[in-house]
Structure 1
Amino acid sequence: MKFTKMHGVGNDYVYVNGFTEDVARPEEFSIFISDRHKGIGSDGLVLILPSETCDFRMRMFNADGSEAQMCGNATRCIAKYVYDRGLTTKETISLETNGGVKILKLYPKNGKVDTVTVDMGEPILEAEKVPVTWSEAQLINRIIDFQPEKFSVTAVSMGNPHAVIFTKSKFSTLDIERIGRKIENHPMFPEKTNTEFVEIISPTLAKMRVWERGSGETQACGTGACATLVAAVLTGRLERKATIALLGGDLELEWNAENNHVFMTGPAVEVFSGEIEW
């Protein structure tokens, strides 16, 4: 099986060209290759596939083998992969995902893509569509008891569910594995959830750590950064254009007031390519 390892601000996946490779049992393959001691090492697997409605289609699997709707950082890496390898000459492409169609604007330098802006679409705030079990139409800035901790939570979907939590202290020493795992599996999130822990630095800058369902803490999460911006704007913490600083690097975000779409700009990096038995 031929593969390429890529990352977007440290959110690393193994990419396989589904035009030329047939991945049997992708759920098992994702578990196998994600192991950082016995496999390639990654946050999961991304398949680049043909689409009947868009330029390309993606399927992505977390490190535990579960299939996710989409990943913002992975979409940028797909754009780099298909352009750098001549699968497209377009500098704007459409990508079919399980979380909806995404439009990607590519910025090549010397024939290779350096950064990508992704139109992530409109945020979903309706509780039943996130989904989150909640008595009101939306869950915005409400205290939830996760025992023994209580957190103020805003629930947002960017094609996948997010619980955004703003923290004022212990950001760097937060026991994210214990707390993140508890929130991910809380019954109020019927499809589990990604959880963002956010520290506001200024009206245009926030720091974020993320616990991704099925993968644990990762260096970055594009959809999580988008959800964080939306939650921060809704609660008066950030302006509509802001930088989200993650462990793996920075993402530039804008929640456009005119069309309600969230735009994410960031780098896409190829690490190495190889072959592995499967």
Structure 2
Amino acid sequence: MRFSKMHGAGNDFVVLDLRDGTPAPTPALCEQLADRHFGIGCDQILTIEPPQHAAAVASYRIWNADGSASGQCGNGARCIAAWLVRDGSAPAAEGFVIESPAGQHAVTRASNGDFVIDMGAARFAPADIPLAGVAAAQDEYALDIDGQTLRFGAVSMGNPHAVIEVDAVAGAPVATLGAALQRSSMFPESCNVGFAEVRAPDHIRLRVNERGAGETLACGSGACAAVAVLAARGRVDAARGVTVELPGGCLHIRQASDSGTIFMGGPAAFVFEGEWP
């Protein structure tokens, strides 16, 4: 089984081409591939598959390091776009469309060569996230965890996100508090938990604990979610664009003021190619 090892701002992937009909990896195989000591090592496995609609050049699915399926991965979308361009399945200089479990995504190129992904509009309705026990969307939710009241925003980018604003991300309890929120019954499908520090209206710092993977060096959908939540509060100017600084690098997020569509730009890099025995 041939694979490509790739990363987007440090969020790393094993990419498998299944367009020849090869079956999707089992949860056990995903765990083997993702193991950083006995396998290839990655945050997620991405499988490239035939398109579901004529407008798309290919579709892809996302598997977390623990073998669970995910509905969206922004950094993965850019890596899939770069892989398809290198493969010749997508044009290098023109826009094209790819499909994730969350829907179709238009892909364009920035002037610096980065891939820019149309991530769609953020969805705040509790049923869309989903959030249990909540009737209407709120700017901020409160939940008692281990005797302390945790306040957070919640949004779907095709996968569920909680966003916690902090004074400084360096000392944020990403692993402990992130895992506790992921286990909460308020999130029946768990969630990705982002800790966001606003530096300026066009600059935030972010750390994300991803469901099924733990803290990653970058989370594309998490960057979009953080900007969406903070923009709704007036904390950042998403229409002009926001640089999201993550441990593995920077992503650039812009939200269209008319439609609410979020565009995410950033790097996509090939690390090595190999064959799984």
Q: One-letter code of the match for 1:216? A: G
Q: How does 1:58-73 map to 2 (within 5 A)?
A: 58-73=60-75
1:148 is aligned to 147
Q: Distance in 1 between matches of 2:30 and 2:195?
A: 26
2:45 is aligned to 45
Segment of structure 1 superposing worse, 83-92 or 26-35: 83-92
Is 2:204 the partner of 1:201?
A: no
Q: Distance in 1 between matches of 2:139 and 2:110?
A: 35
Is 2:52 the partner of 1:86?
A: no
Q: Distance in 2 between matches of 1:44 and 1:23?
A: 17
Q: How does 1:109-128 map to 2 (within 5 A)?
A: 114-128=113-127
Is 2:35 the partner of 1:35?
A: yes
Find the partner of 1:106 among 100, 105, 109.
Answer: 109
Shift of 1:32: 0.6
Contact 2:24–2:47 at 8 Å: present in 1 too? no
Secondary structure of the corresponding residue to residue 220 of structure 1: coil
Structure 1 gap segments, 5+ residues each: none
Distance 1:162 1:188, change over 3 A: same
Q: One-letter code of the match for 1:244? A: V
Q: One-letter code of the match for 1:79? A: A
Question: What is the CA RMSD across the aligned residues, in angstroms?
Answer: 1.6
Q: One-letter code of the match for 1:57? A: S
Distance 1:263 1:190, change over 3 A: same
Q: One-letter code of the match for 1:155? A: A
Shift of 1:158: 0.4
Give the TM-score of the pair, scaled to structure 1: 0.93
Q: One-letter code of the match for 2:83? A: Y
Q: Distance in 1 between matches of 2:3 and 2:47?
A: 10
Distance 1:179 1:251, change over 3 A: same
Q: One-letter code of the match for 1:167? A: V
1:182 is aligned to 180
**Percent identity of the aligned residues?**
35
2:265 is aligned to 265
Secondary structure of the corresponding residue to residue 178 of structure 1: helix
Segment of structure 1 superposing worse, 93-102 or 200-209: 93-102
Contact 1:130–1:160 at 8 Å: present in 2 too? yes
2:136 is aligned to 137
Give the TM-score of the pair, scaled to structure 2: 0.94
Across the two proteins, how many residue pairs are aligned to each other?
272
Secondary structure of the corresponding residue to residue 120 of structure 1: strand
CA distances 1:89-121 after superposition (whole Å, capped 9, x unpaired): 252121111111111113598xxxx41000001
